[in-house]
Amino acid sequence: MANVTSTWTEPSNTPLTLLLLGKGTDPASERGVDCPGDLPAPSDPDLVARATAAKAALGSRVFVLGHHYQRDEVIQFADVTGDSFKLAQQAAARPEAEFIVFCGVHFMAESADILTTPAQKVILPDLAAGCSMADMAVLGQVETAWEHFEDLGITDQIVPVTYMNSSADIKGFVGRNKGVVCTSSNAKRALDWSFEQGSKVFFLPDQHLGRNTAVLEMGFDLDDCVLYDPHKPKGGLTDEQLRNAKMILWRGHCSVHGRFTIDSVREVRERVPGVNVLVHPECRHDVVRAADYVGSTEYIIRALDAAPSGSAWAVGTELNLVRRLALAHPDKQVMFLDRTVCYCSTMNRIDLPHLVWALEELVAGRVPNVITVDEKTAHEARVALDQMLALP
Ligand code: SF4
């Protein structure tokens, strides 16, 4: 038999390439940028001891935030856990902490930087931890869409609303166009306020949260919603469609929640009689319609806390959280809505080696991976965030 040798060559980056862990740069995107640093090996048996020692050495100078979707190995070192907005608020409530180590993704660290004092440094342990949903709305695309709406003469009717899960420059765009940021907990209140200011909403970047809130909570028809595809000329919509629409939804979605299907719901109902299906509003419209309960991450946690012993729950959200909930409620049957594994791959880029590295750098007097939002963008984004905080 002939001796065959082959050499694998890493393909060069294209606009769609998923960057390898910590390799490659794409500063115009949240797909990830270089992660400098000499990371400890994941197999290092001293990682827990090293993180514990570094955190103790830093004391109150450091505050570690852990998003609910983070791995257990990271969550164990979080001073507080929560969803993206709760974590940004917690960061803002700790002005004495010099360093905010944000175990989450890039847009969350940006929000924390916007809400904390200039003296505080927000650190993302792996700069390659972006969010695919946030990446689906790039400022240039959004400005092109807005110019199109201006040409149609409809911008004075439109209120832009962006989900917290968007980059700082999208929040800035919304702030300078008199709009508002929303979370999955207050999306209805944000839309109620927006429809008092105008007759249309331009909803970024998660089409599902926008559609689910408008149709299921506010009584709009599906036909009131149109989908603006930034990759098609004029968003793939006619002038008439845009003029008639009440909700102009940006074509973005969460790569995790968007994976649940109506078949997942049917299958679990057949397999587990009496099961309660509980999903996040980033799931597709048909999935949310077929579920028994829908709500934010914090809602999901509260629902399981309040559930009676012996009840069965199929949960449609990120797997790290579902696993932790299952462990926290051994008296209840808590299962993942879909049988296939569904971690958020970018969230999972923050692992113990990256956390150890970031903390040890701080102990050594170096400040790694600082996330900074420029002053103008931060000011405009803050206008949209403050509008959210002022929602009735
Ligand atoms: S779970 Fe979805 S929205 Fe959240 S960080 Fe991952 S891709 Fe983004």
3-state secondary structure the chain: CCCCCCCCCCCCCCCCCCCCCCCCCCCCCCCCCCCCCCCCCCCCCCHHHHHHHHHHHHHHHEEEEEECCCCHHHHCCCCEEECHHHHHHHHHCCCCCCEEEEECCHHHHHHHHHHCCCCCEEECCCCCCCCHHHHCCCHHHHHHHHHHHHHHCCHHHEEEEEECCCCHHHHHHHHHCCCEEECCCCHHHHHHHHHHHCCEEEEECCHHHHHHHHHHHCCCCHHHEEEECCCCHHHHCCHHHHHHCCEEEECCCCCCHHHCCHHHHHHHHHHCCCCEEEECCCCCHHHHHHCCEECCHHHHHHHHHHCCCCCEEEEECCHHHHHHHHHHCCCCEEEECCCCCCCCCCHHHCCHHHHHHHHHHHHCCCCCCECCCCHHHHHHHHHHHHHHHCCC
**C-alpha to C-alpha distance for 392 and 390, rounded to whole angstroms:** 6
Residue to mutate, 131, 166, 182, 250, ligand 1, most ligand atoms under 8 Å from C-beta? 131
Shortest-distance atom of ligand 1 to CA 105: 5
Give distance in angstroms: CA of 44 to centre of ligand 1: 29
* pLDDT (0 to 100) of residue 25: 59
Q: Which residues are part of a known binding site for iminosuccinate? A: 67, 84, 163-165, 184, 280-282, 297
pLDDT per residue rounded down to tens, the chain (392 residues): 445 555 656 556 555 555 555 455 566 655 555 566 678 888 889 999 999 999 999 999 999 999 999 999 999 999 999 988 889 889 889 999 999 999 999 999 999 999 999 999 999 998 888 899 999 999 999 999 999 999 999 999 999 999 999 999 999 999 999 999 999 999 999 999 999 999 999 999 999 999 999 999 999 999 999 999 999 999 999 999 999 999 999 999 999 999 999 999 999 999 999 999 999 999 999 999 999 999 999 999 999 999 999 999 999 999 999 999 999 999 999 999 998 767 898 898 899 999 999 999 999 999 999 999 999 999 999 999 999 988 88
Pocket around ligand 1 at a 6 A CB cut-off: 69, 105, 131-133, 165, 254-256, 318, 344, 346-347
* pLDDT (0 to 100) of residue 30: 52
Ligand 1, atom 3: closest residue by C-alpha: 254
Shortest-distance atom of ligand 1 to CA 206: 3
Ligand 1, atom 5: closest residue by C-alpha: 131
Residue to mutate, 163, 347, 348, 349, ligand 1, most ligand atoms under 8 Å from C-beta? 347
**C-alpha to C-alpha distance for 333 and 149, rounded to whole angstroms:** 49
* pLDDT (0 to 100) of residue 36: 63
pTM, full prediction: 0.90
* pLDDT (0 to 100) of residue 14: 57
Residue to mutate, 135, 344, 345, ligand 1, most ligand atoms under 8 Å from C-beta? 344
